[in-house]
Chains A and B, each alone.
Chain A
Amino acid sequence: MVIDFSPFFGQQTPLDRIFEAFWSPNMAISQRPYSYPPVNISEDEERIVVRCEIPGMDISELDLTLTESSLVVKGERQAAKGKYYRQERPTGAFQRVVNIHAPIDRDKVTAKMKDGLLEVVIPKSEASKPKKISIDIA
């Protein structure tokens, strides 16, 4: 038997019940009150970078789709087989859509994954880069 010594172990106060309801261990991804997976988006002049925390998934198990104006990250987390004493890790199908409001170079998009962190680099197309216009003053 393995017991984790969380400060909440063995107690059942009203606060604990609220806490348990919010972080209910058997909740599937679709029932969670927050979006999964969490996403960070950053950009510079050349590219847009989308980073997601998806632990336990291999990049081959993910379905990445790039449409005209959005990036869709899809997948399904499987649960391990056995007798569960504690289940907090989310399971089930997930999908996250990131809207992109800039012209992008679809052919040069790259994606890599390391230690459960997905990184998708979307280069901006030439049309969206800022251009300097010289104005001749007469």
Chain B
Amino acid sequence: MSEITKTEEKGLPRVKPSTDIVETDDGFFIYMDMPGVSKEALIIDLNEDEIKVSGRTAYPAPDGEKLVHVEFGNGEYYRGFTVSHIVDKSRIKATVKNGVLELHLPKAEKAQPRKIDIQMG
């Protein structure tokens, strides 16, 4: 987990998940490290130009185990993004695999680079 920004009322630290934003020919990809968050515990809200992603980890308390060494724990991931008009918002896709959320934001048709044929005069 990365920076702890705020402590929630319930005691869960709010964490900004480490994020990569990559542009490819297919559009934009946002990768977010959210280990411990299941598909069911993930919330993605798209409102106008804003995408808000949040999710809670659900590590069960070790039953009868004594914690010897602790470096991570339960937390609430939260991060927001602004999406510009070149993204086709109706085709945004989200997949979760191995604790990484992948958001695919395809470019709108008009934003695709186009080759212009030059006619000989």
User: Cβ of A64 < 8 Å from any Cβ of B?
Assistant: no
Q: Closest CB-CB distance, A80 to chain B, in whole Å?
A: 5
B9 at the interface (CB under 8 A from A): no
Interface of B is mostly: strand
**Do A49 and B21 have beta carbons less than 8 Å apart?**
no
Given contacts A5-B80, A88-B19, contact A82 B24 (CB under 8 A): yes
A38 to B36, CA, bound (A): 13
Contact A4 B81 (CB under 8 A): yes
A117 touches B31 (CB 8 A): no
Contact at A43–B65, with CB atoms within 8 Å?
yes
A89 to B22, CA, bound (A): 12
Asked if A89 and B19 sit within 8 Å, CB to CB, the answer is yes
A55 touches B20 (CB 8 A): no
- Say which size band chain A's interface belongs to: 35 or more
Residues of B within 8 A of A15 (CB): none
Assess whether A40 is in contact with B99, with CB atoms less than 8 Å apart: no
Interface residues of A in 33-64 (CB under 8 A from B): 35, 38-44, 49, 51, 53-58
Between A and B, 19 residue pairs with Cβ closer than 8 Å are A2-B81, A2-B83, A23-B2, A38-B72, A42-B62, A42-B68, A43-B68, A44-B65, A44-B66, A55-B35, A57-B98, A82-B23, A83-B22, A85-B23, A115-B98, A115-B99, A116-B33, A116-B34, A116-B99
Query: Chain A: residues with CB nearer than 8 A to chain B?
Result: 1-6, 23, 35, 38-44, 49, 51, 53-58, 79-90, 113, 115-117
